[in-house]
């Protein structure tokens, strides 16, 4: 009896032994840093020396006395709520096109997926600087039609659009997921509706879109989360300034400027926690709203 | 040892350290390098974890901050013991490496911000070449004369209202500086005057329109408007002259930054050098290395005044005969102006964002979003908030 118990106890420990390497990794590289940053957000800390406890001061300063912070929120919200819907619409349209049984689907799929693989990279951001510059390809193309545009990245009202377009251009991964979703929709639905005289648009509105809603929700949440955290394109295109006139001052870029430019790590940590809460709230809202529009057939 | 720079500098530093190891076979120098931005981030992270490299590159821009945050140690004892020999140093180089009277940085070379200009454009336009200690009025008139020749698609000067180094020069002439401890060291009127001058330049059409200037940003030398013949004048550190000259056929030259009428003839001296970390377990070897770099002709031959003329005249003489034409122009300029320089003013933590504000608010004026007055008001409100966090 007793031996059995002892054995059971030791058996109970074995899984933890196997888990240990992973647990240590999570603690050392995720959990401890995360909670450290929470503590730092209530201090002012300049990297060296000891953090001083200042309570909620960072959080209060942010919302009451830092116009650049509010500007960074505005830029980021504009970016997320314009770029993500555009990107999803674009990804869905292309997925629909590719879903029409064309030959060489694999090739097109890979081709259209390419921008997603490279779109977030520094090299492409540098390319984008050129493309949307004063004498870039975009302006030269518009020039053919007699449209005279200033430098996109050099004009405050246009600069964020260059970044939005860069995001939309990375439509590859939602497109692939939409494509998989489209393949799941049984053909019977389309056949039955054609017999009832439904046209293309009706089919799209009443069959395709409702059947795809779970996938739209998934894509929307994933893209929203990654867009809130976008950093590289804005950093490279504005040379780390978020200019001109803070028109591309993404939240993460401003956070970086505070942490690594000013060595105000406490302030940067509190910004990071607010971003975490913002992303959490919007993800929660997306799930809450899904009861109203997402259609699960079960 | 850790330093920052481009590929050419890394190769040069490696050759230098190889030479040092050859001379002192019992010492091996570990090497860490990166770009200037990465360098500071990495160094901060290392300092937070108490594993700063023994020898750390620094400059007038970082010195006060590094000392305040205890990333550099007081070198006076090493100087007193003769391990670091600074007896051949110019007094400007010595003073520029001091904080509160103690030496923290050993100078590798010095440079002065001046106006680098394209002599070919001046000649074609028939405009007299500028002379040292010219005034803002002369600068403005010269720009207007150049513009007559340049026409529509090129400009006399870049719009430099957003450059904090220019503003530092402007303030020093008025006996002020951008920062005073954790506060601003100038009045609103100073900034209004500064922005107003550049606004006058924009209205006269002698600098590029706002969007072109914004796009130009801080592009590398070979893509700069100066190298492409799009502007005739740009203010930069004197050691940049040779780098710009590589990217253009036209002969470039350098002249002092303009002075205000009746202003004090003073220019901030920019020094690049290195210090030793207080955590260092090998301060003696670190001192040996610093001494080698700044006092041995073997080192000077490899180093070739990378950061501008070296602190020691003896070392300058080692390489002087082998200097190229642009370096000769640079050295002549720096030697003439050196006595009129002052150490670069201190910058507190948070200065990076305040310096960026100079650019942002100048752009706001350039794009017509704000008046000069509004921009100056907004600058003060935000700068004080950043420094007091």
Name the residue facing B364 among A154, A245, A267 (closest C-beta): A245
CB pair distance less than 8 Å for A156 and B369: yes
What pLDDT does residue B147 have? 97
Q: Are B343 and B96 in contact (CB under 8 A)?
A: yes
**Cβ of residue A50 closer than 8 Å to a chain B Cβ:** no
Classify residue B56 by its DSSP letter. Answer: E
Q: Average pLDDT of A3-30?
A: 80
Q: Average pLDDT of A105-119?
A: 85
Which pLDDT band, with edges at 50, 70 and 90, does A9 fall under?
low
Distance from CA of A263 to the nearest CA of B (A): 7
CB pair distance less than 8 Å for A155 and B211: yes
CB pair distance less than 8 Å for A243 and B211: no
**What phi and psi values does residue B22 have, to the nearest 5 degrees?**
-60, -40
Distances (CA, A) of B44 to A33, A38, A268, B280: 17, 20, 15, 15
CB pair distance less than 8 Å for A244 and B389: no
Chain A CA closest to residue B220: A239
Which pLDDT band, with edges at 50, 70 and 90, does A1 fall under?
low
CB pair distance less than 8 Å for B389 and A263: no
Q: Are B82 and B284 in contact (CB under 8 A)?
A: no
- Parse chain A into domains and list their residue ranges: 4-53, 66-291
Which pLDDT band, with edges at 50, 70 and 90, does A125 fall under?
confident
The Cα A199–Cα A188 span in angstroms is 15
Name the CATH topology of A66-291: MetI-like fold (1.10.3720)
Query: Any idea which of A89-93, A146-150, B184-188, B250-254 has the lowest mean pLDDT?
Result: A146-150
Contacts of B213 in chain A (CB under 8 A): 154
- In this prediction, what percent of chain B has a pLDDT beyond 90? 80
Please say if the pLDDT value at position B230 is more than 90: yes
What pLDDT does residue B220 have? 81
The Cα B51–Cα A142 span in angstroms is 54
Contacts of A150 in chain B (CB under 8 A): 209, 211
| Residue B268, SS3 per DSSP | strand
| The model's pTM | 0.88
With b for 16 or more beta-carbon neighbours within 10 A and e for fewer, the B240-265 pattern comes to: bbbbbbeebebebbbbbbbbeeeeee
Distance of CA B211 to the CA centre of its chain: 26
Interface test with A, best of B56, B220, B360 (most A CBs within 10 A): B360
Chain B CA closest to residue A151: B211
- In this prediction, what percent of chain A has a pLDDT beyond 70? 96
- B346-357 pLDDT, tens per residue? 998 788 899 999
The alpha helices in chain B, defined as continuous H runs, are 7-23, 36-48, 63-68, 76-80, 91-96, 119-125, 136-150, 164-173, 188-203, 210-216, 241-246, 283-295, 297-303, 313-320, 325-337, 351-366, 372-387
- B128-161 pLDDT, tens per residue? 999 999 999 999 999 999 999 999 999 999 999 9
Which pLDDT band, with edges at 50, 70 and 90, does A5 fall under?
low
For chain B, the distance separating the N- and C-terminal CA atoms, rounded to the nearest angstrom, is 33
Interface test with A, best of B45, B215, B364 (most A CBs within 10 A): B215
Q: Count Cβ atoms within 10 A of the Cβ of residue B128 and give its class: 0-12 exposed, 13-18 middle, 19 or more buried.
A: exposed
The Cα B371–Cα A146 span in angstroms is 33
For chain A, the distance separating the N- and C-terminal CA atoms, rounded to the nearest angstrom, is 49
Q: Average pLDDT of A97-119?
A: 84
Query: Any idea which of A81-95, A215-229, B295-309 has the lowest mean pLDDT?
Result: B295-309
Average predicted confidence (pLDDT) for chain A? 89
Which pLDDT band, with edges at 50, 70 and 90, does B17 fall under?
very high
Q: Average pLDDT of B291-301?
A: 93
Interface of A with B in 80-119 (CB under 8 A): none
What pLDDT does residue B253 have? 97
- A170-182 pLDDT, tens per residue? 998 999 999 999 9
Q: Average pLDDT of A15-36?
A: 90
Say what the alpha-carbon torsion angle B372, B377, B379, B383 is, to the nearest 10 degrees: 160
**Cβ of residue A36 closer than 8 Å to a chain B Cβ:** no
- In this prediction, what percent of chain B has a pLDDT beyond 70? 100
């Amino acid at each position: 009896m007793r031996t059995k118990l002892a054995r059971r106890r030791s058996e109970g420990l074995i899984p933890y032994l196997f888990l240990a390497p992973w647990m240590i990794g999570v603690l050392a590289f995720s959990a401890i840093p995360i909670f450290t940053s929470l503590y730092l957000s209530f201090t002012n800390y300049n990297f060296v020396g000891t953090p001083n406890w200042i309570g909620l001061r960072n959080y209060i300063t942010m919302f009451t006395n830092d116009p650049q912070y509010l500007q960074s929120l505005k830029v980021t919200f504009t970016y997320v709520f314009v770029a993500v819907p555009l990107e999803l619409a674009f990804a869905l349209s292309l997925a629909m096109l590719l879903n029409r049984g064309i030959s060489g689907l694999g090739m097109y799929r890979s081709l259209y997926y390419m921008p997603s693989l490279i779109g977030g990279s520094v090299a492409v951001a540098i390319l984008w600087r050129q493309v949307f510059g004063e004498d870039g390809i975009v302006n030269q193309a518009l020039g053919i039609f007699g449209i005279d545009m200033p430098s996109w990245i050099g004009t405050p009202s246009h600069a964020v659009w260059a970044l939005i377009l860069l995001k939309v251009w990375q439509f590859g991964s939602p497109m692939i997921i939409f494509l998989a979703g489209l393949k799941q929709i049984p053909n019977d639905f389309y056949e039955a509706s054609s017999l009832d005289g439904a046209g293309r648009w009706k089919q799209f509105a009443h069959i395709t879109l409702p059947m795809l809603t779970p996938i739209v929700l998934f894509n929307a949440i994933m893209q929203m989360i990654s867009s809130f955290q976008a950093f590289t394109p804005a950093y490279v295109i504005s040379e780390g300034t978020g200019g001109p006139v803070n028109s591309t001052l993404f939240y993460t870029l401003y956070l970086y400027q505070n942490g690594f430019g000013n060595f105000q790590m406490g302030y940067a940590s509190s910004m990071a926690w607010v971003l975490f809460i913002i992303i959490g709230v919007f993800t929660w809202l997306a799930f809450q709203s899904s009861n109203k529009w997402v259609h699960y057939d079960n | 040892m850790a330093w920052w720079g481009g590929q050419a500098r890394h190769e040069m530093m490696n050759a230098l350290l190889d030479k040092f190891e050859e001379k002192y076979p019992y010492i091996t120098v570990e090497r860490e390098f990166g770009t200037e931005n990465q360098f500071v981030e990495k160094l901060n992270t290392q300092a937070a974890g108490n594993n700063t490299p023994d020898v750390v590159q620094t400059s007038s821009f970082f010195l006060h901050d590094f000392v305040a945050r205890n990333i550099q140690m007081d070198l006076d004892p090493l100087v007193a013991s003769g391990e670091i020999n600074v007896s051949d140093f110019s007094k400007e180089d010595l003073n520029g490496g001091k904080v509160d009277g103690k030496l923290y940085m050993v100078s590798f070379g010095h440079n002065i911000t001046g106006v680098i200009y394209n002599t070919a454009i001046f000649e074609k336009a028939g405009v007299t070449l500028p002379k040292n200690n010219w005034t803002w009025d002369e600068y403005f008139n010269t720009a207007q004369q150049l513009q007559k020749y340049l026409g529509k698609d090129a400009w006399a000067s870049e719009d430099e209202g957003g450059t904090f180094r220019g503003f530092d020069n402007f303030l020093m002439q008025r006996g002020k500086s951008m920062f005073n401890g954790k506060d601003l060291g100038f009045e609103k009127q100073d900034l209004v005057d500064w922005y107003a001058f550049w606004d006058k330049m924009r209205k006269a059409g002698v600098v590029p329109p706002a969007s072109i200037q914004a796009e130009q940003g801080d592009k590398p030398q070979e893509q700069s408007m100066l190298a492409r013949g799009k502007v005739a004048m740009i203010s930069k550190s004197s050691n940049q002259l040779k780098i710009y000259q590589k990217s253009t056929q036209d002969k470039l030259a350098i002249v002092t930054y303009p002075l205000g009428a009746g202003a004090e003839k003073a220019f901030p001296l920019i020094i690049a050098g290195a210090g030793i970390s207080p955590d260092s377990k090998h301060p003696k070897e670190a001192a040996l290395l610093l001494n080698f770099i700044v006092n041995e002709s073997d080192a000077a031959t490899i180093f070739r005044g990378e950061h501008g003329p070296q602190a020691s005249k003896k070392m300058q003489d080692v390489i002087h005969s082998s200097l190229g034409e642009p370096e000769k122009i640079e050295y002549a300029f720096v030697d003439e102006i050196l006595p009129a320089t002052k150490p670069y003013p201190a910058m507190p933590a948070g200065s990076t964002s305040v310096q960026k504000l100079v650019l942002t608010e100048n752009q706001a004026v350039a794009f017509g979003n704000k008046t000069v007055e509004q921009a100056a008001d907004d600058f003060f409100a935000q700068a004080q908030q950043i420094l007091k966090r």
